[in-house]
Structure 1
Amino acid sequence: MKHGWNTWNVRSVLSHVHLPEGFAVSLGIKSYMEGLCLREALIGRGGNGAKGVEGVQPGPHAYDGSFTSLELEWFDVRVRVETAVDGGDWYAVITPLNAQRKTACLTIEAGVLWGRPGYARRDGGKLVVQNDSQCVAVFASGKHREEPVTEISGPYLLVELDQPVCISTNEARLSQAAAIVDKKKADYLESRQRGDAKEQELYDAMQICLAWDTIYDPFRDMVISPVSRIWSCNNGGWVLFDWDTYFAAWMAGLENKELAYSNAIAITTLATDKGMIPGMTRANGLKTLDRSQPPVGSMTVRALCDMHGETVLAEALFDLLLGWNRWYAQYRDQDGYLCWGSNPYEARIGHILETVVLNSKFASMLESGLDNSPMYKEVGYDKEKNLMQLADVGLMSFYIADCRELAELARRIGRDEVVGELEARAGKYAASLKTLWCEETGLFLNKRLDNGAFEHRLSPTHFYPLLAGVPTQAQAERMINEHFFNEKEFWGEWILPSIARNDPMYPDQDYWRGRIWAPMNFLVYLGLCKYDLPKARKALVEKSEALLLKEWREHRHVHENYCGDTGVGCGSGKQNSDAFYHWGGLLGLISVMESEKNDNAIC
């Protein structure tokens, strides 16, 4: 994928870059009313309607960059920006959607990114970007203005937005730019038609978010899909979280095998020499070498192999995934149970995560992925063992599923020598998980390892044993009937809250304290698929659809998390829900898998 024109530049959705050269054409707005220039734009920055913050309505975005569309509002200016690639040339049409007393201008900048060789210059009414072997010229229609723009330090063109402005890297076809963009748009939209209108909306929300979040990583020379551009810009250029990135690969796999594989490879190859895949890695070199995150890699690779009818990805990543599986058994076992933890190491960057947070209960909570979950509030932490003192139902379920998925991959690629090892570990921890069944409660419960008591603070992770296939059908029915459909716990208009509604911290609606998270719904859905629980499965599909479409229809947002009471992602007083975070699209993936379960789903 790492070639040609696309929105590779993490800094702005208005920047289009040609790989491998790093030649960039970046668009912006000059507002005369405000006397300011917008040079970078991101989706979901600052919430809705914040003064001086750009509002971006994301439209279709082909994974290969052949067509993109968005609408931008900033102060007194509204425009539509549509781009296309045809025959290797890049085209854009910028259409003003309103007028100003003094007409705003489009700024067109050229440059070479990431320290790549080359330079940009202005040559009359065009921009030129070149290196020793390549030269690209950028031409624009419309009324060009000659005046300084103090915010821009490189070469630029300034064009009035009193009419649509066409841009092309092919001067001979500049007059055809609008027709080319329209044709690419029509072809792309026709190619992605899926069933009825609602099914199309659900797929669009998932795919459009993932496509706009996909960027180029110049540090590792890879195409990756971090959780959001805002997160990446705040972390030195990109940040890869463990389970988030695997889920991105899963979603991408429905349409673009190369992007799916690229993400799976990008996160798996970050494995340390001990075998652990860090929970977080940043562009500045920070890796959480003390902790990992939920092991969903093997199930993702298995799903991708099933989608594409091949084992090449499994063959490439198997040993790394096996090393990760062995790491969990070596470093997170206590008394035959699995616990979240954090192992000390010598700081490499000096970040607070390496110094203050290291080897603490909070660090182990971060490993769980549930950063502030009330489940862990009363639980102790053993600094000698580097483990939270809790036999964790969620972790054990993840791990059993991981062992079984790895064993299946091993059979497919001829690695029979490790099948017995994996099946033995799956059996060992399945037996341990069975001891956590509470007959009185009708659930598998977390157990304190310091005093042997069951913990009764409940989250959707208590349904994860379904994912591991450990409960009997009778136990599964109790779990669903007594808890999933219990209005005091998880049932309601909007589901599944990340902590039971009757938990004293649910009203906080702060991150994992009651907010709804797409990966929880997705993982519970995968578990339901393993049992005869059609009512719950249907309900989860329908309510996940409603949750995703609510904000997608209102704001074109795909949220990191949603309010458990209102289903709203925006408007949190704590502002802790990124508005364009790709794993929100898992709510749509549930629906896609349900409708296509005979083809692509694991059910």
Structure 2
Amino acid sequence: MNRNKMKIKFLIAAVLSSFIFNTYLQAQQISDQERNVIQMRQLNAHLCKGWNTWNTNSVLSHVLLPEGFAINVQLVNHQKGDTLKEALIGREDYGTKEHVVPGPHCYDGSYTDLTVEWQHINVRVQSAAEKNDLFLLITPVNFSNMDSLIIDPQMLWGRKGKIKMSDGIIIANTPSGEIRIKVAGGNYSTSDTRIIFSLDHDIALSTDKSKSAADIESIMKVSEKKFTAEKSKYKEASEEYNAMQTVLAWNTVYDPANNRLLTPVSRNWCVGWQGWVLFEWDNYFAAYMLSLDNKDLAYSNAIAITKEITKRGFVPNFGSSKNKSEDRSEPPVGSLIVNEIYKKYHEKWFLKEVFDELLSWNRWWANNRDINGYLCWGSDPYVYGKISPFLIKGIGTKKGAQWESGLDNSPMWDDAVFDSTRHRLMQADVGLMSLYITDCQSLSEIANALGKTAIVKELTQRADKYSKKLRTLWDDQFGLYLNKNLITGKFSYRLSPTLFYPLLVKVPTHKQAERMIKEHFYNPQEFWGQFIMPSITRNDPAFKDNKYWRGRIWAPMDFLVYLGMRNYQLPNARKDMVEKSKNLLLKSWLGEHHIYENYNATSGEGNDSGMSDPFYHWGALLGFIDIMDKGYVPAPELPLEAKN
């Protein structure tokens, strides 16, 4: 009997152990599958909270998340009967009249500062925030007696809540509780829906009823001083950092449909797209810049653009609140950027979150843009829904292939033939092949970090294959890699900085690299000058067009060439690239507080062309070059183990 009882006990123990072990395995499996979902929820919960300038449509709108309760600052010119309801930075070049000078802006909204000039009215608007407390200080600079300022409270994005006014107090009843904002300074009157201030006194508001106008002024001084001290960590590149951080912070907005933060190229672009729009290489570069000191926002942006992947398996030229480009991609820099962000923060969940999409995209290039072993740009037809006629013109056409290059109207494409059957631009592209090899190499490192040995081998083989083909595009007589017409087999001598991209993947020998620099980079007829590098050589017939990619300077080109220079002993060229890029950025930043989409290659101006957004974040790559060169960013050419 005892022996039977023992058997039963052992049997029960075995069953329980098996059950516990299987439950443990199942839990582990669920954990692996769900971990990234949990991480993303935590990431968004951490980012999407508190007071900040979250509202895409106006930098004068201060919004509390997750409630969606907004305090909107508006200006009124009673003499003309005009009201400025929304304001954006740089929009004076888009046909409106407000001129916003952006000042400091903490990423978390703990301090913001700007000046807005509209018609003859000029006011400074400062904010400070801590958790759910908001402090606003508005200082009139110029006005007339009839002018006024309106505080217009609203619930945004369909969020639940009711707002009422009570003797200078705004009361918002939301599902999370009651929020009260009290007037602490200024001459005002109230209506049922808003507070109207005259501009003859400073205006102060606060969620803390105990704070006076003087208290709020002191809070602003302390907040500004704290932010200034935080920025001092980058004192060797202080103005470059200031420019970069400012444009990134002011352009960070909230996407209510997906409960996430995005940093689009500029708010102007988002308003034009009726919500938000992300461009592929633009937003990967933004993520790289953000990774300097804001890990979560860098993750959010890199993941957001990667998750725009299409049904065909590629990250598109653009993704927006309305649609995405199903016909074309853009320069493949995603794996490069993701790998560099990982090398700084070493969080594998981030790699796992984007790896499948990056691998699909990498395979897509080889399967869909390869002609005789060379890579070229293209645009594939597809059945589209309701999109603008402008976008329709690019689908399955040469224009669409040019858009895929990211260099829309580059003279490099003027004589290139578009195969309307295969929907390819029949030109082997040095820049694309170099960036694709970089993508293979970077993604191979990511795969290795995730223990995916078979995929490492696959990617290494592809990198080797295209490296061999890239070497055949070297013109030894000319001393440069050249694009090649895939119909005639002849080289193209329409030269752009993309022809230096082979430096990124160490395909050139050191002797070849020296020739590229000596004979072309330093050639004043081509790329050298007071401001560098023009997107087409100075001696090209199209240089004088000075329109978009026809002769103007673009920060991502300088940045990618600089990264390539770091792979070689080219100290003078590297130093000159750093200094000239920095000087170009600071010319408009210090003079106008603008960071342009592109620049005049002769004068260094950004505002001389109608096709250069004045507050476009990738322009800050010109300063990121110096920030990296000063050692504030891990050296991208070093292997992972050297950065630990």
TM-score normalised to the size of structure 1? 0.95
The amino acid that maps onto 1:71 is T
Q: Contact conserved, 2:77 with 2:147, CA < 8 A, in 1?
A: yes
Q: Alpha-carbon deviation of 1:338?
A: 0.3
Tell me if the contact between 2:167 and 2:190 (Cα under 8 Å) persists in the aligned partners.
Answer: no
Pair 1:222 & 2:260 matched: yes
Matched, 1:189 2:228: yes
Offset of residue 187 of structure 1? 1.1
- Cα deviation digits, residues 391-439 of structure 1 (max 9, x gap): 0000000000000001111111211120110001001111111111111
Determine which of 216, 227, 232 is the counterpart of 1:177.
Answer: 216
Gaps in structure 2 of 5+ consecutive residues: 1-46, 639-644
- The aligned counterpart of 1:584 is 619
More off after superposition, 492-501 vs 102-111: 102-111
Aligned residue number for residue 271 of structure 2: 233
Inter-partner Cα distance in structure 1 for 2:462 and 2:55: 43
Deviations 1:170-226 (A, max 9, x none): 222244222222211111111111454x72111000110010000001122210000
Contact in 1 for aligned 2:64/2:132 (Cα 8 Å): no
Question: Are the counterparts in 1 of residues 331 and 435 from structure 2 also a CA contact under 8 Å?
Answer: yes
Evaluate the alpha carbon distance shift between residue 74 and residue 553 of structure 1 in structure 2; reply closer, same or farther with a 3 A threshold.
Answer: same
Give the Cα separation in 1 of the matches to 2:262 and 2:296: 11
Paired residues for 1:232-381 under 5 Å: 232-284=270-322, 286-352=323-389, 355-381=392-418
The one-letter code of the counterpart of 1:580 is F
In the alignment, does 2:71 pair up with 1:25?
yes
Say which of 176, 197, 211 aligns to 1:159: 197
Q: Quick check: 1:97 aligned with 2:134? A: no
Match 2:160 to one of 117, 126, 129:
117
Structure 1 residues 566-598: Cα deviation after superposition (integer angstroms, max 9, x where no partner): 0000122xx110000000010110000000167
**Helix, strand or coil at the partner of 2:210:** helix
Q: Report matched runs for 1:104-143 at 5 Å.
A: 104-143=147-186
Structure whose alpha-carbon radius of gyration is higher? 2
Q: Find the aligned partners of 1:289 and 1:582 in 2 and give their Cα distance.
A: 25
- Letter of the 1:86 partner, please give it: E
Q: Distance in 1 between matches of 2:483 and 2:264?
A: 31
> 1:598 and 1:592, CA in 2 relative to 1: closer, same or farther beyond 3 A?
closer
Q: Is the 8 A contact 1:237 1:283 kept in 2?
A: yes
Match of 1:555 in 2: 592
**Count of aligned residue pairs for this structure pair:** 591
Counterpart residue number, 2:564: 527
CA contact (8 A) 2:89 2:102 kept: yes
Partner of 1:59, secondary structure, is: strand
| C-alpha distance 56-315 of structure 1, shift in aligned 2 (>3 A) | same
Quote the offset at 1:87 in angstroms: 4.5
Shift of 1:602: 4.1
Please give the alpha-carbon distance, in whole angstroms, between the structure 1 residues aligned to 2:561 and 2:331. Answer: 14
Distance in 2, matches of 1:47 and 1:555, equals 13
Distance 1:495 1:339, change over 3 A: same
Question: Would the alpha carbon gap of residues 47 and 357 (structure 1) be closer, same or farther in structure 2, given more than 3 Å must change?
Answer: closer
Select the residue among 496, 499, 502 that pairs with 2:539: 502
Partner of 2:642: none
Aligned-partner residue type, residue 450 of structure 2: I
What is the RMSD of the two structures over their aligned residues, measured on CA atoms?
A: 1.7
CA offset digits 1:445-484 (Å, max 9, x no partner): 0001111111110000000011122111111111111000
How far, CA to CA, are the matches of 2:484 and 2:137 in structure 1? 60
AA aligned to 2:419 is D
Q: Report the Cα distance in structure 1 between the residues aligned to 2:200 and 2:156, rounded to whole angstroms.
A: 31
Distance of 1:235 and 1:598 partners within structure 2: 33
Could you tell me which of 77, 102, 112 is aligned with 1:68?
112
How has the CA–CA distance of structure 1 residues 353 and 425 changed in structure 2, closer, same or farther, with 3 Å as cutoff? farther
Q: Does the 8 Å contact 1:110/1:128 carry over to 2? A: no
Provide, for residues 81-107 of structure 1, a one-character-per-residue CA deviation record: whole Å limited to 9, x for no partner: 11001352001111112342x153221
- Whole-angstrom distance in 2 between the partners of 1:383 and 1:598: 44
More helix by share: 2
Name the CA distance, whole Å, in 1 between partners of 2:291 and 2:387.
37
* CA positional deviation for 1:354: 5.4
Which of the numbers 393, 397, 405 marks the counterpart of 2:434?
Answer: 397
Aligned-partner residue type, residue 591 of structure 2? E
Q: Which secondary structure does the structure 2 equivalent of 1:5 belong to?
A: strand
Question: Which string of whole-angstrom CA distances, capped at 9 and with x for unpartnered residues, describes residues 338-395 of structure 1?
Answer: 0000111101223325533211111000000000000000111112212100000000
Contact 2:168 2:190 in 1 (8 A): no
Per the alignment, in what secondary structure is the counterpart of residue 494 of structure 1?
A: coil
Check 1:471–1:253 CA distance in 2 against 1; reply closer, same or farther (3 A cut).
same
Mapped contact 1:103–1:162 kept (Cα < 8 A):
no
2:219 partner SS: helix
- Pairing partner for 2:62 from 12, 16, 26: 16
Q: Which residue of 2 aligns with 1:151?
A: none
Q: Distance in 1 between matches of 2:97 and 2:525?
A: 40
Distance 1:599 1:428, change over 3 A: closer
Distance in 1 of aligned mates of 2:452 and 2:501:
28
SS of 2:76 mapped into structure 1 = strand
- Cα distance in 2, alignment partners of residues 21 and 349 from structure 1: 32
Structure 1 residue 124: Cα displacement: 2.9
Partner SS for 2:91: coil
Change (3 A) 1:374 1:467: same
Aligned equivalent of 1:36:
82
Using the TM superposition, give the Cα deviation of residue 72 of structure 1 relative to its aligned residue in structure 2, in angstroms: 1.2
